[in-house]
């Protein structure tokens, strides 16, 4: 039977847990629950984006939805 793993929170810790779980279990059904528009972004980079030093908020995204999909991790918003 496949292991089912649910992770609450799509921030850095949640993404790290999801990707670590995938490395440990290639067949697990992994789901990440998040309310964030962008699942994993650098919170530390936000002041630079707001000030204009970083040209767009998309540059602050660490793992976009395609990274989760590539690892067969379901992202629920």
Q: Which of 35, 44, 66, 70 is catalytic?
A: 44
As a whole number of Å, the end-to-end CA separation of the chain is: 26
Place of tokens 């040209």: 55
Q: Is 44 a catalytic residue?
A: yes
The rounded distance, in Å, linking the Cα atoms of 22 and 49 is: 31
Q: Are 76 and 8 in contact (CB under 8 A)?
A: no
Catalytic annotation, residues: 44
């Amino acid at each position: 039977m496949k292991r089912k793993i649910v992770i609450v929170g799509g921030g850095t810790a949640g993404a790290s847990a999801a990707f670590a779980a995938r490395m440990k279990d290639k067949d697990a059904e992994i789901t990440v629950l998040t309310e964030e528009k962008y699942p994993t972004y650098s919170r530390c980079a936000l002041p630079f984006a707001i000030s204009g030093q970083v040209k767009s908020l998309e540059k602050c995204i660490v793992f976009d939805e395609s990274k989760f999909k590539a690892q067969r991790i379901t992202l629920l918003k």
